[in-house]
Amino acid sequence: MRTILIIIFVLFPFVAFSQIETHLSFNRTDRTLVLVVKNSTDKLFRLCPYPNHDPYVKSGVSSFVVLKYKDVSGKVLFRRSFFLFEQLPISESTKGKFLFKYGENKYVYDLKKLYKGNINDIYSVDIHVQIEAVSLKNKKDVYKEVIDKTYQFK
């Protein structure tokens, strides 16, 4: 009995925090980055930014992506920042600002198109993703996550 209680207390926090799941992957062949954000709740979330804030400076006020393209020596060749939903087609951009109840958003970024320069100079890309979503029902229900990864181009 004691073992069962310990297992419940250990696993319960993980269940409570798994309301929104994220998965980031990179396809080296076509050089696309895919971010999947899944809402496993019955709440509607709005991805931030908040008005009147500088989203790329102040942490915790918006959902954005920062890409740093680097050469073999680690020198930054190009840096690009944008809101999570900014690269979506116009027909999907409004939908991409929300996480619908029991829904899933898929954001695909073509890293070749986002780079301004010779694509053959790139060795790796540092990716920083910050996600902040606020429940429209209860403004105190906030989801935050930061993902930092490095992917090699070649």
Taking only the tens place, the pLDDT of each residue in 34-78 is: 999 999 999 999 888 754 555 444 455 688 999 999 999 999 999
Q: Which helix (H) or strand (E) holds 64?
A: strand 64-70
- The domain of 139 spans 21-152
Asked, for residue 14, whether it belongs to a domain, the answer is: no
User: Cβ(75)–Cβ(136) under 8 Å?
Assistant: no
pLDDT beyond 80 at 18: no
Looking at residue 14, what is its pLDDT?
A: 44
Asked, for residue 137, whether it belongs to a domain, the answer is: yes
> How many structural domains does the chain have?
1
At residue 100, what are phi and psi to the nearest 5 degrees?
-75, 160
Amino acid at 93: S
The residue with greater pLDDT, 50 or 137, is 137
Asked, for residue 114, whether it belongs to a domain, the answer is: yes
Asked, for residue 5, whether it belongs to a domain, the answer is: no
Kindly report the CATH number assigned to the domain that includes residue 129.
2.60.40
Asked, for residue 109, whether it belongs to a domain, the answer is: yes
Asked, for residue 42, whether it belongs to a domain, the answer is: yes
Comparing CA positions, the residue from 83, 87, 78 lying closest to residue 61 is 83
Provide the β-strand partners of residue 39: 20
Asked, for residue 4, whether it belongs to a domain, the answer is: no
pLDDT, tens only, 67-124: 999 999 999 999 999 989 888 888 887 888 899 999 999 999 999 999 988 999 999 9
User: Cβ(152)–Cβ(124) under 8 Å?
Assistant: yes
Asked, for residue 2, whether it belongs to a domain, the answer is: no
